[in-house]
Structure 1
């Protein structure tokens, strides 16, 4: 059985974080395991409270899973603090053969902050150099590079700058770009790959970043190349948005099992 590990926070509303990752893994035929970094009290309207777990507990979860079950790929999401970022990086350095997908979660869909300023620097210094791919959206790429990301040309420039920080590849997601369609950009250090898709007139997009990164991790665990995982994950996410269940009074979740008869 192919497995993948997610290291992220819990979303009590079920649309993002650990819950979205596990659902995505399962939808794509991968057994999901998890290391919880934080507990959030949130729904589709916003985040009400956050508690970060101790770095030692986060590390203990990671080791418990990898040493027994293993992982075909690892995905990180909400890490919260510099200490957790540093501990996760230190733990994962012992497993360099497992592809790591870093989703640099900084702000929730509700605009609530999920990563401290010093943790951003820790992410750049300790975690990005370990990544097989890092998957920021436009605003996250702006924070990480210090340069505006508004157009596909900006996204390509940001991808180059982020690649210089150490990850093997970078995907800058296009949901926030000022373009009629959504343009996602992959840079593998040599070549650029782009996937274009329609924008959907919906408020139900909570957890899209988590879902996309988890899908990439699942496809890498299944043995797909990164460009193929990129295309497959974008198609999966597009379907999940189109089939969103429409629950909640704010930014609702996507439909993680839209591609399966259940």
Structure 2
């Protein structure tokens, strides 16, 4: 069974002449234990795809299955429970609570779910991201890369079926970004963690097993095991198509709110 299946997924905003189609009949499969990067020009539907696949947004039509569970048929209560228990999120904004220590931020998803966080589990995931010695540091005492690693540990605390990242290295310098990407790659290779990452960076995308390209809300091809240079060339071609005279106006992609970034 695949980790995620999208079948003819469309997402439209507005109605009538003002309607904008962010996703247009997208069908994709994400096999278990793989790392997929999603790329495309601005407004191509990348973040909307991630939000629909993760249950943060509901498609206008089509179906989304996560591990065989049809998300579009779930009530808001059941969808919230599924996100808490089976999905992890890492976004460009770290979304750490400044008054809490690293270990308290990591434990937050379990507390929000009404569960007592096992101290050993919290320390385990902090150790997994190389921050066991920073457990009692607050975000203001950590570098940007360290804060993102705390956010990654927080996403892993519930042992999610799928880890979603929306530009997880976008706010980091190249060295810190490499550290985070190497951790994501290792989690796929060592633990079989299914990972889906939206990125604009060909170097980041080269860490993935597969790169799926979107243009104008549709799948515009994919590459497997490609180096950064090949990925960049393909993306440049898509951007040229997207800026052509017959291309419909691009819609700025919506991003989950800071509250949605927490697994609530």
TM tier, smaller: 0.3 to 0.5
For the pair shown, which has the larger CA radius of gyration, 1 or 2?
2
Structure 2 length as normaliser, TM-score? 0.34
Return the structure number with greater relative CO, CA threshold 8 A, min gap 6: 2
Instruction: Give the alignment's TM-score, normalised by structure 1.
Output: 0.34
